[in-house]
Amino acid sequence: MTRTILLTGASGTLGRMLAPRLARKGYALRLSDITAFPDPLPEGSTFVPADLRDEAAVRELMQGTHQIVHLGGISVEKPFRPVLDANILGLIHLFEAARQDRQRIVFASSNHAIGFYERGEKLSVRDPMRPDGYYGLSKAYGELLARMMFDKHGLESVHMRIGTCIPQPTEARHLSTWLSHDDLERLVIAALEAESPGHAIVWGVSANRQSWWGEDDAARIGYVPQDDAERFAPLPEEGDAVTRRFQGGSFTAQDYTKGDAEP
């Protein structure tokens, strides 16, 4: 039986890139976003508009799907209220609907859940989260919500702590954080196909020689990145002193009032 995958945030940059790739792999896709899908629909795909803030709409959206790739919500730093509505309230609606049918969620978490670690520190996914703004805070919340959902209800989820997913790196920070489009595809498919991932957290990063991110649950789901940003080196440093100090880059510098960027 062909599984139907719900892809939220389908009209965003990563959704538009990922949808045709998943369709070519044979997945039946139900694409959804608050705005229309701007490209021709991939073969075997349908599009259903939905606002994640609407609990009834989310429940209806998930009728007949089998797994969810959740890219929806706000993807940049914003004031708390819009982040709360889209990334926290919307996520609650999605997880509550998913647990009714035991639909696995592949969640686009973010490196901004740990953005206030110093550059050069080698991190494990077991290290405490240090979000660099309300956006990163919402991603940390998503990982914790999913932990509770697994412990309490057995709902499986895979959390991709996505770094910088662009066609190629353009600045020095990206030599550590880059996730190629091909590796994102590999990561999503591994997360969908893993036999028993439980509650898994995986660095959404390519096999970069200068990566700051180490131990995670990649082996549990069979994710093996193949690309390396090093082939684009050297690249220039960008941003102010705060941006250059922390792993979260420019997100850490937004509304930063602590003072000197030094420890």
The residues, any chain, with a CB within 8 Å of residue 75's CB and separated by 6 or more, are 9, 12, 135
Catalytic pick among 135, 141, 223, 256: 135
Q: 92: burial class by Cβ within 10 Å (0-12, 13-18, 19+)? A: middle
DSSP H/E element including 109: strand 104-110
The alpha-helical segments, DSSP class H, found in 9-163 are 13-24, 55-61, 80-83, 90-101, 134-153
134 is a catalytic site residue: no
SS3 assignment, position 203? strand
Using CA atoms, how far apart are residues 45 and 24, in angstroms rounded to an integer? 11
Annotated catalytic residues are 135
